[in-house]
A and B are shown apart, each in its own frame.
Chain A
Amino acid sequence: MDIFAEGIVRLRYLVIIAVTAMTIVMLFFLKDLEVNADVMSYLPEEDPSAMLFNRIGDTYGGNEMVIVGLEGKHVFETDMLELVKQVTDSIRSVPGIGYVTSLTNVLDIRGTEYGIETGRLVDEYDIPGEREALDSLKAYTLSKDIYRGNLVSEDATATLVIGKILTNVDRTEVVEKIQQKLKGIPFEGNIYYGGMPVTLLELSRIIISDIRYIAPLAFVLISLVLLAGFRSVHGVLLPMLTVLIAITWTMGVIAMLGYQITMLSNIIPVILLAVGSAYAIHVVNAVMAEKHIDPNKALQRAVKYIVVPVILASVTTIFGFLSFIAGSYLTLIREFGMFSAVGIFFSMLLTVTFVPALLAVMDENDRPVKRPATSHIFDRIPEKLSMLVFNHQRWLLTIWLLLLGVSIWGMTKIERRVEIIDYFQQDNIVRKGEDLLAEKFNGSTPLFLKIDGDVQSHTVLQMMSQAQDYMEQFDYIPYTQSVADLIKQMNDVMGEGKVIPDDDVKIAQLWFLLEGQEIMEQLVSPGFDEGIIQGYVTSNELEVLREIETNFEAFVEKHSTENLSMSVTGIPVMMKRLDDSIINSQTYSLIIALALVVLMTSLLLRSFNKGLLAVIPIGVTLIVLFGIMGITGVPLDIATVLTGSVTIGIGIDYSIHFFSRLGEGQQQQLGLQESLGRAISISGKAIVINMISVSAGFAMLVFSNLVPLQRFGFLIAVTMITAGMATLTILPVILGGRFIQSKGKKKETCNQKGECYS
């Protein structure tokens, strides 16, 4: 290690130049970095429900919709209908839109005493102006359930214009164009937007604006805490610079290898900020600690000491993240594990090379560091902790046990939720739009049931009709549509009632009339060998999704025959699968990572007991984290489960540094208690600085416009503080337990250096 430390100092300029060059190269790649916020694309292409969903999109003219709600005026007024027509035409002219359905272009088939009348519900060339005509249009429209709740609300105060988006187009771009066009249309009421593509666009808009405003704020705050902690420019510059470079390199590598940023991998900078800054803080802290003892050769001595724990911590963390790769169903989890590991590696590499090199250069012009006259808060916290550890271990243990007990109870209360809509605050346009759709309309989340078989046969149409009845018995599926509805309607028009005709020839002849209608292409395949039932779900609550999954699968299985098979897909089904996969694999990975960490630390500390002890802070933090989530009602979802990963990274780091300082003390033949005192005071300072700075930075996320980011910020702060406190109190209490007990029941008081007296 001596040679290594000397080498870095000698080659300092070379190291700095190499790092700068690499950073420039990575910045070059970084500009091509793409973000993929499309949650639906995260399921593997070979996933059955994703495959079916995409196939339905290709076959039936789009599987996703953008829904525009016009609200605020009575719908059946001439000017309002004119507006609907204008909006319909605007949306229709946007490239990437397959079909548009609205009051002014929907085809209406009605049986009259004279015969069959087909026409537009509203004649767009001749929108009614007379009160009487408007009232009769209203009465007629609201009497038909294909319009009521689908195109116009029951109270006639809101109406929808629905555009189907083609597959293989940039859905968010289509939504953006529609929003731009509609901005130019004057309307006194409210325009709402709904549908998954709208949600995704809004999501990426908010993330980008949040990053723009919150990231700099967080950096400033972290820097201020670092400045307060170290009272030196080095102490701010080095950790921040290291983190920034590590993030740049990692993101650069992601772009260079042609990957995209996903909802998981965008957490990587967060992990690097927390863990990477900790690495650099340890180095700076070690150097400063050495300087207080002897300013000469402080750097080399500090490097010699700190390199090993930093490497050990990072290697263990890397293994922890690599365990995410094994057995994960989703590619995005594999990518997340892999690139987090890469990022940790870069942070470690920079910490052991670039940080000392830069310190060496800075040292050349550095003024000698004076120990501050009065110790400040970041020294006082470890001091206070030492006092607690040595004098009030029972209290400490009781408090932790209580906390753990409450947390375990809290864990049982943890909620699972997958509603993306919960991500948005109450006043967000997506939330308002979805509220309107759920309140006044039949919902906006498409659910498909595909039926394979001869769709022109009585058997298949009858089954479709039966399946629709089955679906509509659930409150959250208010409306479904299929070709069976159209056939029944036409049969009624022909005077034989609203049923599927028994005679296949009759069906063929009704079919003949329906063929070529836009709606047919959205419901049956061109070869007539399959058809879909399109339903809408008004709720995405997990309970509902579970019910859909289990009930529908049972229904499909029960009724599928040799000539007729059925399958279910749709956004609710895919969301559930995605969420299940992420939560399961994260939980699984956390357990594997914990086991790996025990193994690694046991090897490193050459003791299985110590290995087990080292993961205690991680285990405690995880329990407290999930417990607090349960108590505060923060649901376990795709975003929040990731705080577990941060816990592992930071927990390992804290434990290893603690054990490393402890080992150093024992090597110097100091007593256990004194070694513990040193470990708490030296590594404690780094831990406290890291803990407070990162928590403060993430606390800035309360200003985010996305609810999960606010929660994420809160949970990271919880994680950092719990991990830090657990390391600095539980570990020494357990380690010192034997020592304290061996002293008998004699009451002792110890100071922060572990010197005890009666």
Chain B
Amino acid sequence: MYAMKTMMIKALLLLLALSGAGELAMAADAETILRRMDDVVFAGEDQKSSITLILIDRSGHERIREARVWQKGVNKRLFRFTAPAAEAGIAFLSLPDEVMYLYMPAYGRERRIASHVKNQSFAGTDFSYEDLEAEKYSKRFSPKDLEETEDHYIIQLEPLPDVRSDYSKIIIHINKKHFYPEKMKSFDRGGQEFKVAEYTFDKKGDYWYTKEIHMTNLKRDHSTRMIFEEVAFDTGLDDEIFTIRNLTRY
């Protein structure tokens, strides 16, 4: 009888615990989902690729730019444009502590760029410097579960208190099976929908990689397709690549 009672109490406690834990599990879920997405999006120690940027204005007029990109860790990146001819050789080198250098071959000299504005467009595209940041989402945003559909987790991100973001929130549709983002809707600080990014992912070796991002700026009525090719992970990129000497070598 006593045992029975104990068992029942235990069962009740367990039930209570479970129900409480259930809530916790849900909260943890959004964070876990975001962290898993980060692992997919920012996979590999280093990465190099060729990028085609297709800029599409509101009348459908397209302009194409090409570039090579080298990335090591979270904060070393070299972006060098290869086409069109007039812009070939223009390069951006990002180093830790938000240090950035620009090289313009026509002027034959590099210039340090200090930018305090992350919402500026990068190279005329619909991507801002913030959109291209290599810092993980989970370090910049706090996530919240919104919805779960058959194929997607839909979570909402809000910038962490000490983080400067141009967005008031981002709603992400994450693939349930592989944890890569398929769609991101960003809202401006006035709460209006501002940008929509659609992602296509592909698998290369162990890693899923972004094949294309189609970013639409709803306010500008302008969009950019960023297409990644010749993607290579963990090739052991030399630190020498990320130096001013290399930047100006064109």
Contact = CB atoms under 8 A, between A and B. Distances in A.
Interface string B96-107: 000001101111
Contacts of A115: 101-102, 110-114
Given A515-B121, A526-B61, A527-B61, A508 B111 contact: no
Interface in A504-518: 504-506, 508-510, 512-513, 515-517
Contacts of B7: none
A516 B124 contact: yes
A504 B86 CA distance: 8
B178 interface: no
B87 interface: yes
Which of A92, A116, A516 has most chain B Cβ within 10 Å? A516
B117 interface: yes
B120 interface: yes
Interface residues on A, range: 20 to 34
Interface in B195-250: 220, 222
Interface string B163-198: 010000000000000000000000001111000000
Interface string A490-531: 000111100000011110111011011100010000110000
A681 B118 CA distance: 86
Given A512-B123, A515-B124, A118 B111 contact: no
B116 A119 contact: yes
A97 B218 CA distance: 14
Given A495-B109, A516-B120, A517-B121, A526 B57 contact: yes
B106 A92 contact: no
Contacts of A120: 116-117
Which of B59, B124, B222 has most chain A Cβ within 10 Å? B124
A516 B123 CA distance: 7
B19 interface: no
B5 interface: no
A508 B57 contact: no
B106 A509 contact: yes
A117 B90 contact: no
Given A107-B117, A123-B116, A526-B59, A509 B105 contact: yes
Contact of A114 (B114, B121, B122): B114
A107 B120 contact: yes
B50 interface: no
A145 interface: no
A517 B222 CA distance: 13
Contacts of A496: 107
Interface string B65-87: 00000000000000001000011
Contacts of A757: none
A118 B61 contact: no
B32 interface: no
A509 B121 contact: no
Contact of B106 (A114, A503, A527): A503
Contacts of B57: 526-527
A479 to B, nearest CB: 24
Given A504-B86, A509-B105, A117 B114 contact: yes
Contacts of A505: 86, 106
Nearest to B65: A512
A121 to B, nearest CB: 10
A114 B115 contact: no
B120 A517 contact: yes
B124 A118 contact: no
Contacts of B47: none
B125 interface: yes
B106 A512 contact: no
B189 A89 contact: yes
A125 B59 contact: no
A93 interface: yes
Contacts of A116: 102, 111-114
A508 B112 contact: no
A647 to B, nearest CB: 52
Contact of A118 (B81, B109, B115, B191): B115
Contacts of B101: 115
Contacts of B114: 112, 114-119
Interface of B: 57-59, 61, 81, 86-87, 90, 101-102, 104-107, 109-117, 120-126, 164, 189-192, 220, 222
Interface of A: 89, 92-93, 107, 112, 114-120, 123, 125, 493-496, 503-506, 508-510, 512-513, 515-517, 521, 526-527
28 contacts: A93-B190, A93-B191, A93-B192, A115-B101, A116-B111, A116-B112, A117-B113, A117-B114, A117-B116, A118-B116, A119-B116, A120-B117, A494-B109, A496-B107, A504-B86, A506-B104, A508-B86, A509-B86, A509-B104, A509-B106, A509-B107, A512-B123, A515-B123, A515-B124, A516-B125, A516-B126, A517-B121, A521-B220
Across chains A and B, which 9 residue pairs bring their CB atoms closest together, nearest first?
Answer: A516-B121, A515-B124, A115-B112, A119-B116, A508-B86, A93-B190, A526-B57, A516-B124, A115-B111
